[in-house]
Amino acid sequence: ATVIPVSPLKPPAHVEDYLRADYLHPEAVQAQGADVAERRFRAVLRRLQLPPSFTCVRYNSLHVSPAEAASLLGSHVQQHGQVCGGEIPVLHHPQVPDILLVPVLETRVQQEHGLPQVVVAVECGNAVLRGAHVYVPGILAAPKTMRAGDRVAVFVDIGGQCRRGTVKPLCGPVLFVGNGVARLSRAQIFLKDGVTSGIGVSMTEPLYFSPSFENLPPSIFFPQNLPCVLAGHVLDVRPGLRVLDMCAAPGGKTTHIATLMGDTGEIIALDKTAAKVQKIQNNASRLNLKSIQTFCCDSTQAIASGPHTGKGLLWWVGHPPFPEEYFDRVLLDAPCSALGKRPCLGFPASLRQLQSYAPLQRKLLAAAVALLRPGGVLLYTTCSVASAENERQVAWALRTFPQLHLVAQEPHLGGQGLPGAGLDPQHLRLLQRFDPGSETEDGVCGVSTTPRAPHNLDRAITDTIGFFMAKFTKLPISPQ
């Protein structure tokens, strides 16, 4: 089998072509210059396979002060510091008040030949690169002789050629992600009545080190990517508002909104899958939030129709579908291709699947506009870097709904929108794009050649997941 280092990994041709059309669009090239546009595109492709420079942890500001949160998290993090041979800082963000940042440290651990080889699935490998241990469901292969307590080398099956339970150690292209200690024997993992959950391998020498957050107080801390936390602030909520989160699972943004509103007001969280609704409920419960109402509902069908629609609310019974123009704030964190998720060691979606999200996003945008009251705020977000799901959707919304207007976002930490969707420069400046290919501390587009500096907060903004935000307000339609 071929053991591939992280740096040369290459996405499938259809993914590369899909993103090239955005980053090397003639308008983008004209705005940035051909060399900068090309470097930015190549940097995006490479950085998508690497973890961000910082792990972001949101704390429950209803229960702890910033100082108390930093002290609690700092104590937890320092218990893990010996793994990387030094103290790990816990940092406040100067512009986002309810998060703490922990640097992700590149350990440069080397593959150690002769160790038993454990092969894991891609999703498991993604989690390991962000600081997780290897859990049993993610293990695909292990040697017959592996026993609990053995030191092992962990590889990711990036070629998708490894069948679960095989004894052949490396059966296709694989990626080394670190060394660890087996907690279970091979028999315990793969026998019919074996262990089906829990940690299978403790990662003692990961390629990238970030402390485990498993044992943090669940009512206080919630690991969440920085742009996702920022969305709650940009939505500009306050106590007493009616807020709709249209695609809310697993509930990170919903619970943040409830916290920002002092756990008051009317907060409705929808998802069309019952199991995902349960996750929202579980996260609300762990954070001791009472103001969130959850419903299993397809948000494209969340608008009441028939003779009872209109301004009157006496008929409404308190669950979906909702009257038109009922909500003061609407968050549409739309289903998307997730082409901003980091790290991403595999791209299983076909081109047809990538292209399938835009029509659904437009249906959801239409529902969001109908449910938003005049003067209200709609925040549209995705965790994708594809313009088809971002800037082009904004251009479509502005053409289709004349009552929608883009407004400034605060805080505005990301870059502006990507040219090429037909938006004018003023509109692009109002958008907020977190782009893994954006400028580094070296001052050039691309991956920095300097070591990850643990105190450099600039990288907390420039080296995040890919994420996009557009903030609209809805004006009354003037009578003709």
Q: How many Cβ atoms are within 10 Å of 193's Cβ, its own excluded? A: 6
- Give the closest residue to 155 by CA, choosing from 184, 113, 198: 113
Confirm if 332 and 381 have CB atoms less than 8 A apart.
yes
Give the rounded distance of the alpha carbon of 392 from its chain centre.
21
Q: For residue 33, what pLDDT is reported?
A: 94
Positions at the binding site:
247-253, 271, 298, 333
Strands 266-271 and 242-245 come out as parallel
Sign of the CA dihedral running 304, 306, 309, 310: positive
Which residues of the chain, if any, have pLDDT below 50?
307-310, 440-452
Q: Could you give the domains of the chain?
A: 54-106 (3.30.70), 117-206 (2.30.130.10), 225-474 (3.40.50.150)
Q: What is the 3-state secondary structure (H, E, C) of the chain?
A: CCEECCCCCCCCHHHHHHHHHHHCCHHHHHHHCHHHHHHHHHHHHHHCCCCCCEEEEEECCCCCCHHHHHHHHHHHHHCCHHHCCCCCCCEECCCCCCEEEEECEECCCCCCCCCCEEEECHHHHHHHHCCCCEEHHHEEECCCCCCCCCEEEEEECCCCCCCCCECCCCCCCEEEEEEEEECCCHHHHHCCCCCCCCEEEEEEEECEECCCCCCCCCCCEEECCHHHHHHHHHCCCCCCCEEEECCCCCCHHHHHHHHHCCCCCEEEEEECCHHHHHHHHHHHHHCCCCCEEEEECCHHHCECCCCCCCCCCCCCCCCCCECCCCEEEEEEECCCCCCCCCCCCCCCCCHHHHHCHHHHHHHHHHHHHHHEEEEEEEEEEECCCCHHHCHHHHHHHHHHCCCEEECCCCCCCCECCCCCCCCCHHHHHHCEEECCCCECCCCCECCCCCCCCCCCCHHHHHCCCCEEEEEEEECCCCCC
Identity at 127, one-letter amino acid code: A
Instruction: Determine the pLDDT at residue 443.
Output: 39
pLDDT of 82: 53
pLDDT digits over 233-251, tens only?
Answer: 999 999 999 999 999 999 9
Going by the annotation, the residues of the binding site for S-adenosyl-L-methionine are: 247-253, 271, 298, 333
- Nearest CA to 249 out of 226, 275, 227, 267 is that of 275
pLDDT for res 379: 98
Kindly report the number of other CB atoms within 10 A of residue 415's CB atom. 18
State the amino acid at position 83 in one-letter form: V
pLDDT at 478: 64
**pLDDT (0 to 100) of residue 243:** 98
What is the pTM (predicted TM-score) of this model?
0.92
pLDDT at 185: 96
Do the Cβ atoms of 318 and 348 come closer than 8 Å?
Answer: no
- For the annotated catalytic residues, the residue numbers are 383
Residues 135 and 198: their CA atoms lie apart, in Å, by: 6
pLDDT at site 451: 43
